[in-house]
Amino acid sequence: MKRLFNRHFALSLLPLLFLLSAPGFGQPQLNFPEASPKAIVTQTVGLTEITITYHQPAVKGRTIWGELVPYDKVWRAGANENTTFHFTDPVKIAGKDLPAGTYGFHILPNANDWTLILSTVYTGWGSYSYNEKEDALRFKVNPLLGDFKERLVYSFEYATDSTVNAVMQWEKVKIIFPIKVDVHAVVLRHLRNDLRSNHQFYWQSWSRAANYCLQQNINLQEAMTWIDRSINMNENYSNLSVKAGLLKKAGQEAESVKLQDKAITLATETELNTLGYEYLQNQGSTTKAIDIFKLNISRHPQSWNVYDSLGEAYAKQGEKKLAIKNYNKALEMVKDETQKVRIKEILAGLK
């Protein structure tokens, strides 16, 4: 009886053992390399991030175009789930506007030009559920002959301050299309948002935002309100100089000069030194630079650096004796050995 009971008990366990041995039933999943590995490539243009996420099929000796990837049929532009493009800000692609967001990327190839598609649906598996009614953007490109690529690869080329080319290569085919960002519009949108956050409590934030507009010669009217906000919080050389620049852009020359003169009265040693070099290097006005460096010496006679800067300005003007005099003064005062070596080398070249 005991033996029979054991036999029946063992038989009763068979269904349970089968279930427990079935794949996925209570077992940890093992990881194996994907046949088409996942890849991500990102490019920043201005403040805008562009990210392409895709899977990389391989050629493996097959005929790709017209066979593995049939002509006149929408292709997933990769492997597995949707290839996607993500834009953190609005962009232009092939001259067409596209809002910020994530898009499924598909290609309709033929023997001549190819149609590239960005779909509002990006969660599909490949192109099996693709629906033309969900297109966000379509445009045509001509495929090019490129270097052989065993695996499909996306990349970015020829990035500038506001543009970049997106590139897809597989087998010997290469397609390229341009992406353009309105960088100033994006920056201004970010600035307006930032100036409503905790940045609004700091004069530096308003001043830097206004200075960006001044340097780029954009949004000057709003920039004037920003710089006034900064000045009302803490009047100083930095924000007064920005406002002087904005007044000059507005054609108010006299007001600009008057405000810049006021700004100079509030300048620190470093700020005066920087202003002097702006005249010396960027505006080509050596005489003005010398005046600023002399003013800095009158305010900070115990600083070796002010004499060093004046010496450089005199050397550029061709006044060797005055340059040597000021460099020697700086050499007497400086304590840093590296600076001493540098000044001695300059003096040797002036003699």
Asked, for residue 202, whether it belongs to a domain, the answer is yes
Output the pLDDT for position 283.
64
Is the domain of 55 the same as that of 164? Answer: yes
Q: Is residue 22 situated within a structural domain?
A: no
**Contacts by 224-228, CB closer than 8 A, 24 or more apart:** 224/250, 226/195
Domain that holds residue 216: 185-266
Report the alpha-carbon distance of residue 111 to residue 127 in Å, rounded. 20
- Tokens found for residue 279: 């005249």
Residues 172 and 192 in one domain: no
Identify which of 280, 296, 297 has the alpha carbon closest to the alpha carbon of residue 288.
Answer: 280
Q: Are residues 56 and 157 in the same domain?
A: yes
Of 266, 284, 304, at which residue does a domain stop?
266
Which element (helix H / strand E) includes 81? none
User: Is 16 part of any domain?
Assistant: no
Count of Cβ atoms closer than 10 Å to residue 270 Cβ: 13
Radius of gyration for the alpha carbons in the chain, expressed in angstroms and rounded:
33
Supply the pLDDT for residue 4: 45
Q: Does 162 share its domain with 261?
A: no
Residues 48 and 141 in one domain: yes
Q: Could you tell me if 207 and 140 lie in one domain?
A: no
Q: Are residues 226 and 258 in the same domain?
A: yes
> What is the per-residue pLDDT for 297?
95
Q: Which two tokens stand for residue 198?
A: 């905790």
In a domain, 310, yes or no: yes
Q: How many domains does the chain have?
A: 3
Q: 120 burial class (0-12, 13-18, 19+ CB within 10 angstroms)?
A: middle
CATH of the domain at 253: 1.25.40.10
Residue 351 confidence (pLDDT): 81
Last residue of some domain: 135, 150, 181? Answer: 181
The predicted pLDDT at position 34 comes to 85
Does 12 map to a domain? no
Residue 5 covered by a domain: no
> 235: which 2 tokens?
């009047």
Q: pLDDT digit of tens for each residue in the chain (351 aa)?
A: 445 445 454 445 445 444 445 555 567 888 888 888 999 999 999 999 999 999 999 999 999 999 999 999 999 999 999 999 999 999 999 899 999 999 999 999 998 899 999 999 999 888 899 999 999 999 999 999 999 999 999 999 999 999 999 999 999 999 999 999 999 999 999 999 999 999 999 999 999 999 999 999 999 999 999 999 999 999 999 999 999 999 999 999 999 999 999 999 999 999 999 999 999 987 679 999 999 999 999 999 999 999 999 999 999 999 999 999 999 999 999 999 999 999 999 999 998
| Residue ending a domain, choose from 209, 244, 266 | 266
| In-domain check, residue 9 | no
Residues 217 and 158 in one domain: no
- Do both 196 and 318 map to the same domain? no
183 vs 205: CA distance, rounded Å: 19
User: What torsion, rounded to 10 degrees, do the Cα atoms 31, 37, 38, 39 define?
Assistant: 140
pTM of the model: 0.81
Domain membership flag for residue 316: yes
